[in-house]
Chain A
Amino acid sequence: MRKKSDIPFALPAIIVVALMTQIPFLLTIVYSTLRWNLARPDLPIKFVGLDNYLFFLNIPHFPAVPEFYSIVWQTILITGLSLVLCTVTGFLVSILLDNKVPGVNFARTLMLGPFFVMSTASGVIWKTTVFNTTFGWYGVIFKALGMTPVDLVSYHPLFVIIFLFWWQWMPFFVLVILAGLQGIPVELNDSMRIDGTNWLQSTFLVKLPLITNHMQVAIMLGLVFIIKEFGLILVTTAGGPGTRSYTLPYAVYMQVFNASNVGRAGALATITVLLVLITVNVLYRSLKKRGEAVA
C-alpha cells in the first residue's frame, strides 16, 4: 500500500509558507529580546530580556500615559469603528439591494468597485479630489455654501482614516451579507407576507438572525484585513499630526525604518500579533455562542 505518498503534495506549500510567515515571526519574537539598532553597528547585539517590552508598557509618571497606549487605543478605535460602520451600513445596503427592481444588479456591481481599488490609490484620490480644501469637492462645496472648510486630513485624521476604511470595506460586507440574504428561501418571504409581518419585523427579527453566519464571516475577515492596513494611512495622514493617527502596524514600520530599532520594532510587532489573535479569538467565540443561541 501507499504509505507516505501523500506528504509530497502538501510539503512544498508547507515549506514556502513556513519560510515566509511562521519562521520570520518566530525570529521577530527572538529579535524582540535583543538590543539591536541598525543605525548603530558599533554597538554589539545584546540579549536584554523583556526590556524592549517594558520600554513600551511601563508607565513611569503615572497620570501621564505614554504614547504606546494612545497608539493601542487609536488602533482599537479605528478598527472597531470601521467594523461597526461597515456592519451596520453593509446590512442596510444589502437589504436595499435585495429588492428586485430594474437595474439593481448594475447598482450592486457599481458599489462593489471600491473593494477592488488599491488602498494607496483610493487614499490619494480622496485626499486630492475630495478632501483638499482648495481643489477638492469638499472645499468647493463648503465655500459655495459660505462656510470655511477645515482641513480634515490635518484636523480630523482619525475621522478621515475611519471614513476611508469604511468606504473601502463596506462593499465587501455587502458582498457577503447579500449572499446570505439571497440564500433565504422564497417561501419564507411569502409566509411572512401572509402572516402580516411589517418591514421592521421581517428585516430585524426574521432575516437578521438567519444571516448571522454571514455577518460573522464578514466581521472576522474585515477585522483581519483592516487591522493590517498600512498604505492608506501612509498616503493620507502619514500617521500625523505627530502620532495622532498611528496604528500599531504603522508604529512598527516607523520603529524599523525611522528609528532603525530592530529590538523595539520586534517587541511592538509581537504585541500587535498577540492583540490580533486575542481579538479574533474572543470575537469568534462570542459570535459562535450567539449563532448557536439563535439556531
Chain B
Amino acid sequence: MAQAPSAHVLHQRVMTRRKIKTIVLSVVIFAIAILYVFPILYMFLSGFKTEYQAVNPGLFFGPTLGTYQKVLSDASMWRYLKNSLFQVLGATALSLALGVPAAFVLVFGKFRKRSTNGSMHAWFITTILLPPVAVLIPLYTWYQKFSLDKTPVGLLIAYVGFNIPIVVWMVHSFFSDVPPEIIEAAEIDGCTRMQQLFKIAMPLVRTGIIAAGLLVAVFVWNEFFLAFNLTGIDHATLPVYMSRFREQQGMFIAQLSASSTIAILPAIVLGWMTQKSLVRGLTAGAVKG
C-alpha cells in the first residue's frame, strides 16, 4: 500500500526538480554559447598549430608558437597594427574632444532661437543614417587630388567626421539626465561655460563618455570600407590586412588564425570589459530619444 508522502518529502521532491531544471538549463545555455562562438575558439586554437597540422580540422594537437613567431616577424603586419592603433587613438580622442562639448551645448546651451538645440541634435542624428557609400566618390576624388591617401591624417579626418554624431547621440542622452538646476547654479556662481563643462557636467556623465569612446574605438578598429578605399597600402589598417586572406582557398589556415587572433582580440577584450557601460549607453541613447 502506497502511503501519502509527507510534506517534508514533497518539499524535497520540488527542490530536486528545481535543481535538475537549473542544471539542465545551465548545460543548454553553455552548449549554445560554445557552439555559437565555435569558429572564434577554433581560430584561437589553430593559431598554435603548424600549417601541416592545420590542414585537417582537429581539436587535439601539440601546440607551437612557431606560427605566431612567423606572423609577428612579418614587417607588414606591424605596419598595419601601428596604423590601426594610430587611427583608433586619434579618432577616439578627437571625436570625444569635438563631440562632447557639442552635446553639452545641445542640451544646456542657449541660442537665439529656442528650437536650435533640437534641430542641431536632429541634424547630428540623421548623419548616423548616412551610409558611407554616399560619400565615397567625392572623398575618393578629393583624397586623390590632395594626396590625402598618402598620409594617415586623411583617413583620420573621415573617421572623426563619421564618429562625432555617434558621440553626440550617446553623450546627449546622459547630459539630458543631469538636472539643469545644477548647471544654472554654477552659472550664477560665476562659472564660465568651459568650467561648467569640465568641472561639473563631464564628471557627472563619465560613464556615458567612456561608453561612447569605447564604442567609437571598436568601430574604428573594425572599420573596413573607408580604410580600404581611401588609403594606400602604407596607411591601411588591420581589416584591410585581413581581407587579403580572401583569395587563399583554405590555405595557410594556421597563419590566418594567428593573424586574425591578433586582429580581433583587442576589440573583443575591449568590448567584454565594457559591456555594462555599452548597454547603458546604447539603451539610454536610444530607448528614450
Contact = CB atoms under 8 A, between A and B. Distances in A.
Closest 3 CB pairs of A and B: A20-B161, A231-B224, A6-B109
B247 to A, nearest CB: 9
Interface of A: 2, 4-7, 9-10, 12-14, 16-17, 19-25, 27-28, 31, 93, 96-97, 99, 101-104, 107-130, 132, 134-137, 140, 167, 175-176, 178-180, 213-214, 217, 220-221, 224, 227-228, 230-231, 234-236, 238, 248-249, 252-253, 256-257, 262, 265-266, 269-270, 272-273, 276-277, 280
Interface of B: 22, 25-26, 28-30, 32-34, 36-37, 39-40, 42-43, 46, 55-57, 98-99, 101-102, 104-106, 109-112, 120, 123-124, 127-141, 157-158, 160-162, 164-165, 168, 193, 197, 218, 221-222, 224-225, 228-229, 238-240, 242-243, 245-246, 248-250, 253, 256-257, 260, 263-264, 267-268, 270-272, 275, 278-280, 282-283, 286-287
A175 B128 contact: no
A252 B279 contact: no
A130 to B, nearest CB: 6
Given A17-B124, A25-B134, A101-B29, A128 B168 contact: no
> Which of B40, B132, B133 has the most A CB atoms < 10 Å from its CB?
B133
A253 to B, nearest CB: 7
Contacts of B98: 12-13, 16
Contacts of A99: 25, 29
A6 B39 contact: no
A9 B255 CA distance: 48
A130 B37 CA distance: 12
Task: Give the interface SS of chain A, mostly helix, strand, loop or mixed.
Answer: helix
A230 B225 contact: yes
B268 A116 contact: yes
B129 A276 contact: yes
Given A107-B33, A175-B282, A253-B136, A235 B246 contact: yes
B29 A107 contact: yes
Contact of B40 (A104, A117, A124): A117
A20 B29 contact: no
B138 to A, nearest CB: 4
Contacts of B110: 6
B39 A21 contact: no
A17 B282 contact: no
Contact of B253 (A19, A128, A262): A128
A179 to B, nearest CB: 5
